[in-house]
């Protein structure tokens, strides 16, 4: 539609469309007129005196049309916007300010938009954005959404299991600024509860001690989410006893149960204590059950003593001797 129009006239026309897109009452009319379909091809222009201005008007109009509207986001994805967005982001274009929120929104739009994201390397862009303080939390949330909607081929899971992706996720958790820390816990929880493979891989590649070391966080909701993360990691960890011993987990949980914090909401504190108590019991029960299993297979009491001796659970969890004789 626009490809035969002279650039100066095209620019004026695009400015008009962009101006209309700033009026919420015009958005539906622009959608019905297939504005998105006709705007996106103008991003293919690579040469000419007006190219940068044309790109600016087009992307600004698309930003106004697509923000908080999943149907229009999907329509933009169907018409090939994703490679253009990635180009503006990866080239560090001034138009990155419009491209970034649009690309992150694509994860929430539809199955088709997520498929196109994956096909065009969008997951790698999200992972690279973990190093961008301004966009890291949004990018992490988009990764969590993509994984939550992963299909039977598990392409998203496979992408996040790559060594580079695992390193970026662990490093992001480790280096996340305090002002963002509260906001990354739920996306991380979504990721490790959706995929047991990612859960285990992150846990054995440095995430576990980072989680446990932050249990002294001053915010009760943060501590609660950290406990949920630790519980999820513990349930799938290939070496749970090693996790317990190396990180002194029972003692840290006991500290949470016993501590008193002034000036915090009692509701949050109660939930933290309940969660810590529940997790501590799970550690004890799991260990005792393992000892029981060993006891019924062993024929010598001295071996039982050796089993308990190397167990991290307090001495009060020694099994009654009569269990052995039954």
What CATH number does residue 4 fall under?
Answer: 1.25.10.10
Q: Tens digit of pLDDT for each residue in 127-176? A: 999 999 999 999 999 999 999 999 888 999 999 999 999 999 999 999 99
Integer angstrom CA distances of residue 119 from 114, 123, 155, 229: 9, 9, 10, 30
Integer angstrom CA distances of residue 285 from 249, 278, 282, 299: 15, 10, 5, 23
The answer as to whether 247 is a domain residue is no
Residue 314: pLDDT band by 50, 70, 90 thresholds? very low
Residue 299: pLDDT band by 50, 70, 90 thresholds? low
Domain that holds residue 26: 1-117
The answer as to whether 5 is a domain residue is yes
The answer as to whether 301 is a domain residue is no
pLDDT of res. 26: 97
The secondary structure of 151-187 as a DSSP string is -TT-HHHHHHTSHHHHHHHHHHHHH--HHHHHHHHHH
The whole-model pTM stands at 0.84
Task: Please choose, from the candidates 37, 30, 34, 39, the residue with its C-alpha nearest in 3D space to the C-alpha of residue 59.
Answer: 39
The answer as to whether 159 is a domain residue is no
The answer as to whether 148 is a domain residue is no
pLDDT of res. 48: 82
Please tell me the total count of domains within the chain. 1
- Comparing 229 with 290, the larger pLDDT belongs to 229
The answer as to whether 163 is a domain residue is no
The answer as to whether 26 is a domain residue is yes
The answer as to whether 154 is a domain residue is no
Q: Inform me whether the pLDDT recorded for 257 exceeds 70.
A: yes
**Residue 200 and residue 237 in contact, taking contact as beta carbons nearer than 8 Å:** yes
């Amino acid at each position: 539609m626009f490809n035969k129009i002279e650039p100066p006239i095209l620019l004026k026309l695009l400015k008009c469309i962009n101006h209309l897109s700033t009026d919420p009452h015009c958005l539906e009319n622009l959608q019905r007129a297939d504005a998105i379909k006709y705007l996106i091809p103008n991003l293919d222009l690579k040469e000419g005196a007006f190219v940068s201005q044309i790109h600016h008007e087009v992307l600004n109009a698309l930003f106004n049309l697509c923000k908080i509207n999943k149907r229009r986001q999907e329509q933009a994805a169907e018409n090939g916007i994703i490679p253009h967005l990635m180009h503006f982001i990866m080239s560090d274009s001034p138009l990155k300010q419009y491209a970034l929120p649009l690309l992150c929104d694509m994860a929430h739009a539809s199955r088709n938009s997520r498929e196109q994201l994956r096909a065009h390397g969008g997951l790698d862009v999200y992972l690279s954005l973990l190093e961008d303080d301004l966009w890291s939390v949004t990018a992490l949330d988009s990764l969590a959404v993509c994984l939550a909607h992963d299909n039977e081929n598990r392409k998203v899971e496979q992408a996040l299991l790559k060594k580079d992706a695992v390193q970026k996720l662990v490093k992001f958790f480790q280096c996340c600024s305090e002002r963002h820390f509260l906001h990354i816990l739920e996306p991380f929880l979504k990721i490790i509860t959706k995929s047991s493979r990612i859960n285990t891989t992150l846990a054995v590649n440095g995430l576990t001690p980072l989680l446990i070391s932050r249990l002294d966080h001053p915010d009760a909701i943060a501590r609660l989410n950290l406990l949920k993360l630790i519980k999820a990691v513990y349930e799938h960890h290939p070496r749970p006893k090693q996790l317990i011993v190396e990180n002194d987990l029972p003692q840290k949980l006991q500290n949470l149960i016993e501590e008193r914090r002034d000036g915090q909401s009692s509701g949050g504190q109660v939930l933290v204590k309940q969660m810590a108590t529940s997790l501590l019991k799970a550690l004890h029960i799991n260990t005792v059950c393992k000892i029981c299993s060993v006891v019924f297979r062993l024929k010598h009491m001295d071996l039982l003593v050796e089993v308990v001796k190397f167990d991290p659970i307090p001495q009060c969890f020694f099994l009654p001797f009569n269990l052995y004789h039954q």
